[in-house]
Amino acid sequence: MTSARYSAIRTSLRTAAIMIVFTVLFTAVMAFTYQTTRPAIEASVQEEQMRLINEVLPAESYDNLLLNDVISVTAPEALGSGGSRRVWRARKAGQPASLVLETVASDGYAGRIQIIVAVGANGTVGGIRVTAHKETPGLGDYIDPKKDRNKIKPWVSQFGGVSWSQIEAARWTVRKDGGDFDYRTGATISARAVTRAVGRAVGYAVEHGDTLFAAAAGSSL
Amino acid sequence: MNIQALRESAYNGLWKQNPGLAQLLGLCPILAVSTSMVNAVSLGLATILVMAVANLAVSSLRNFIPYEIRIPVFILIIAALVTMVDLVFNAYLHSLYLVLGIFIPLIVTNCIVLARIEAFAAKNDALSSTIDGVVMGIGLVWVLALLGGVRELLGAGTLFSGIEMIFPEASAVSVFGDDYPGFLIAILPPGAFFALGCLIAAFNAINARMAARARRIPPAPATTAKPDAAPAAG
């Protein structure tokens, strides 16, 4: 192709033009796919969020459009550092019912552990789920009920129904540290990180509950 | 494309030039996603799709691609196809997409895709290139399935865990019962190297045995024996 008939400039212009044609062609193909799949992707993301929330909060306990009633909160002390967290507000007949908070534990065994916590307006925990983590497979990953060997009573189930008014702030940790929560021998660090993060999130929800419910949907605190 | 060429293509992809055991291309996804059979096969199927369509696209366009800039154009084609597969997985197989995560975009950097385009699709017609892509992909998938199956079985004592992400009614099979303690290293990254090493050793042993048998059995009277038999694969 590098024929002596063409000068260097002409060759480079011609090659660049061919490259541009290919780039435009395949970018158009990608753009078309993006447009076609976008509604389905948005629906999948919403469905995934709803599925997670439904695991910690019974669907009959609220009647508002939960996914739209969301605010973003920046509270590094309570909900973990590194950006804002989403807080969904569940209401029944217009009255505050529960808060679903995202929180992050940075003191796990490997990386950040992302958690969602449902807290009722009266300070009772509805349930918690670990949504993303890098804890050791087969050892610390029992914090995720899908990986927990105990299917009948997974480790996270002990959080369901505990109340902020019954357990003082210092006792939201594993029994080994004088807390009120179980852990599995050999993998204390993961359980401790999750338990403490849940405690901080519940405390935050109870303390700032009125502000969190009152904020306009879509706003940032 | 005749039957002879098809058989040769199939033999190369599935056994002799197997991407996972002989060419050893694309080790990154092989080692990283083979923690369970479902993950391994899912990524393998996505790779087959990319390889077949990329080979088809390149072989159809090969007369328009200047030799000097073929590599950038190949990469552009692969990247566009992988982006499409990524979007389609995100849209229609969302829970699987969350598990495979980073590894779908990484198909772009899977050497086997570029290697087949450069070595085969750039020089052959569209039909045989597409078949080459599919067959090489199947060769990769069966190795991935075996590796994922062995690691999952040893590590967690189950098979097909995560199948409900693809078929909601199906569920995983617990082979060793619920109180199987697990063999952690099989699931951790070093286990991938151990398991792949054992598979390659078995592959080479079978090849050596077949070569030895070919030497022992005297050739048909009509043809003369070759002076030196093929050396054992190694």
pLDDT tens profile A50-94 = 888 888 888 788 888 888 888 888 888 788 887 888 888 888 888
Question: Min CA distance, A183 vs chain B (Å)?
Answer: 18
Question: Min CA distance, B25 vs chain A (Å)?
Answer: 26
pLDDT under 70: residue ranges of chain B: 1, 168, 218-234
Interchain contact A163–B (C-beta under 8 A):
no
Q: Does B191 map to a domain?
A: yes
ipTM value: 0.72
Residue A113 CB contacts under 8 Å (≥ 6 apart), including other chains: A104, A105, A106, A130, A132, A133, A135, A143, A190, A193, A194, A197
Q: What is the model's pLDDT at position B74?
A: 93
Q: What is the model's pLDDT at position A121?
A: 83
Q: Does B132 map to a domain?
A: yes
Interface A-B, measured as beta-carbon pairs within 8 A, has a size of 70
Token pair belonging to A3: 């024929």
Q: Which long-range contacts (CB under 8 A, 24 or more apart) does A101-106 make?
A: A101/A73, A101/A201, A101/A204, A101/A205, A102/A131, A103/A78, A103/A79, A103/A197, A103/A198, A103/A200, A103/A201, A104/A79, A104/A80, A104/A197, A105/A80, A105/A193, A105/A194, A105/A196, A105/A197, A106/A80, A106/A81, A106/A82, A106/A193
Please state, in angstroms and as integers, the Cα–Cα distance from residue A36 to each residue in A31, A47, B105, following that order: 9, 18, 19
- Count: domains in chain B: 1
Interchain contact A33–B (C-beta under 8 A):
yes
Range of the domain at B107: 3-216
Q: Which pTM was predicted?
A: 0.70
Q: Does B43 map to a domain?
A: yes
Q: Does B232 map to a domain?
A: no
Q: Does B120 map to a domain?
A: yes
Mutate to test the interface with B, among A35, A36, A41 (most CBs of B within 10 A): A41
Q: Which residues pair with A113 in a beta bridge?
A: A105
Measured distance between the N- and C-terminal CA atoms of chain B, rounded to whole angstroms? 31
Mean pLDDT, residues A119-141: 82
Interchain contact A13–B (C-beta under 8 A):
no
Search chain B and give the residue with CA nearest A146: B162
Structure confidence by residue, pLDDT tens digits, A170-186: 888 888 888 888 888 77
Q: Does B228 map to a domain?
A: no
Q: Does B201 map to a domain?
A: yes
Interchain contact A150–B (C-beta under 8 A):
no
Structure confidence by residue, pLDDT tens digits, B87-136: 988 888 887 787 777 778 888 888 889 999 999 999 999 999 999 999 99
Chain A environment of B87 (Cβ under 8 Å): 33-34, 37, 41
Q: Does B224 map to a domain?
A: no
